[in-house]
Amino acid sequence: MSINSTDNRPHNLSFDAYKAGLENYSKAEAEQVEWLWGYYNGPLNKDKAALCKELGMEWEQLRPLFSGRVAASIRAETFEAVAALRRRLAKSKPLVRTIVAERIIQALDYCRDYSAMVYVTGPTGRGKTYTAEWWAGENNHGRTKYYRVPSDCSRRTAAKDLCRLFGIPTTGSTPDMEEALREKALGPRNVIIVDEAGNLLSKSGKPGGAIELFRDLHDMTGCGVALIFTDVYLAEIKRGRNADYFEQFLGRLEFPVEIPQKPRRDEVRQVLAAFFTDGVSEELVSYALGVATARDGKLRTLFKDLFRAEELAKNAGRKITPDDLKLFVKWRKSAGAWPEDR
């Protein structure tokens, strides 16, 4: 199939037409189309050229797929291209299943299986966002939406952003958009992961508004909602002037996951085992734990150091060694911390 899609104008396919088109597919095919629709509207932000490039198809071949009218002559080839894309994306975002990652996954599984509202809290750099993004990809972009809340988010902004993620028109009033989400997009099969959920509060910390939107959507549609906060934010709201309201709000949430401030030794050992497949010494665990708990360090910092050290070793045609990690950490510290960890 050739790639010839420089035309990046809106696709002009309505959400209703997409939903109706799913009826023309088998269960397995519909699942693939749901995933692709979510990937196109979410991570790709409706970039037709990017989607065509990733699938190796022209837009005129892809567009009928979303409306249930894919050409019979390329049906099998099209669905194999989608499946291959999903496999590539899964490989490009590997997850080291540490004890913390497993706990987050358990909470998100619970959210999906029981259509519950759950929350995860912990310090920055502990894997909350990475694990949530990985889980969203593994659990179908079509049914699971990962939403990172912008600063000072209003209820209207949140509703508009959710409509965009689902491929629903973002025109009209806030009540109109919320109604469209309730009536057309959301149900017990859906999960919304809300990262940086602290931004759903106004600067004054007043209750209501944007954060209540997600409770309303959960209550009215039965969709699962997972709220992800930093530990600093959670501590602030628990002792703020609206502490009673938020204690009551959080009390309604199930399966709370509160991640410790510092990584544990066994967690660091799990991380190292994913890179050093021939075994991990206790000396290396102690060194890596020091990197992850240093004043300018986090578990995220250790991950980045390991990935870069592994890349250097691969370029030299060999496996990563403890000396590679130590050399790279020494080089990084001489150049300064990772920009986002400063």
Helix (H) or strand (E) holding 228: strand 224-230
pLDDT in the model for residue 84: 93
Residues 6+ apart with CB under 8 A from 66: 11, 13, 17, 18, 21, 33, 36, 37
Helix (H) or strand (E) holding 118: strand 117-122
Q: Is 253 left (phi over 0), alpha (psi -120 to 50) or beta?
A: beta
pLDDT in the model for residue 113: 95
In the DSSP assignment, the letter for residue 150 is P
CA distance linking residue 300 with residue 99, whole number of Å: 15
Q: How crowded is residue 253: how many other Cβ atoms within 10 Å of its Cβ? A: 17
pLDDT in the model for residue 340: 58
Half-sphere exposure of 117 (CA within 13 A, CB side): 19
Digitized pLDDT (tens) for each residue of the chain, 342 residues in all: 444 444 555 456 788 888 999 999 998 899 999 999 989 988 888 899 999 999 999 888 888 888 888 888 888 889 999 999 998 988 877 899 999 999 999 999 999 999 999 999 999 889 999 999 999 988 876 789 999 999 889 999 999 999 999 989 898 899 999 999 999 999 999 999 999 998 887 655 565 678 899 999 999 999 999 999 988 877 777 777 777 777 778 788 899 999 998 899 999 999 999 999 899 999 999 999 999 998 756 899 999 999 999 999 999 999 999 999 999 999 888 876 555 554
pLDDT in the model for residue 116: 97
pLDDT in the model for residue 72: 85
Structure tokens at 301: 């910092």
Q: Is 8 left (phi over 0), alpha (psi -120 to 50) or beta?
A: alpha
User: Judging by beta carbons within 10 Å of its beta carbon (0-12, 13-18, 19+), is residue 147 exposed, middle or buried?
Assistant: buried
pTM of the entire structure? 0.83
Structure tokens at 229: 């906060």
Q: Which of 51, 24, 26 is nearest to 37 (CA)?
A: 51
pLDDT in the model for residue 10: 47
The residue whose two tokens read 């990985």 is 134
pLDDT in the model for residue 283: 97
Order across the sheet with 191-195: list the strands.
Answer: 144-148, 191-195, 224-230, 117-122, 254-258
pLDDT in the model for residue 5: 47
Report the relative pairing of strands 117-122 and 144-148 from DSSP bridges.
unpaired
